[in-house]
Amino acid sequence: MIRLFTALSIPDDVAGTLARRQTGLPGARWRTADQLHITLTFYGEVDGRRADELAVELERAAGGGPFEIALAGVGSFGDGHRTRTLWAGIEPNERLSILAGRTRSAAERAGIAVERRDYRPHLTLAYLKPHANPDRIGAWIAGHNLLHSPPIRVDRFGLYSSVLTHDGSHYELEREYLL
* pLDDT at residue 166, rounded to an integer: 80
* pLDDT at residue 103, rounded to an integer: 98
- Note whether 3 and 163 are within 8 A (CB): yes
Cα gap 131→114, rounded to integer Å = 32
- Strand, helix or coil at 163? strand
Cα gap 35→38, rounded to integer Å = 10
* pLDDT at residue 81, rounded to an integer: 67
CATH 3.90.1140.10 fits 2-178, yes or no: yes
Cα gap 107→50, rounded to integer Å = 9
Reported as a single tens digit per residue, the pLDDT across 135-166 is: 999 999 999 999 999 999 999 999 999 998 88
Closest CA to 9 of 116, 149, 160, 161: 160
Instruction: Give the gyration radius of the chain's Cα atoms.
Output: 17
Q: Is the pLDDT of residue 80 over 80?
A: no
- Note whether 41 and 98 are within 8 A (CB): no
- Note whether 157 and 57 are within 8 A (CB): no
Reported as a single tens digit per residue, the pLDDT across 1-46 is: 999 999 999 999 999 999 999 999 999 999 999 999 999 999 999 9
Cα gap 60→177, rounded to integer Å = 10
Reported as a single tens digit per residue, the pLDDT across 48-79 is: 999 999 999 999 999 889 999 999 999 999 86
* pLDDT at residue 167, rounded to an integer: 75
The type of residue at 128 is L
Reported as a single tens digit per residue, the pLDDT across 96-126 is: 999 999 999 999 999 999 988 899 999 999 9
Q: Is the pLDDT of residue 168 over 90?
A: no
Closest CA to 6 of 149, 91, 102: 102
Q: Taking the alpha carbons of 7, 12, 18, 19 in that order, is the dihedral positive or negative?
A: positive
Burial of 136 (0-12, 13-18, 19+ CB in 10 A): middle
- Write down the domain spans for the chain: 2-178
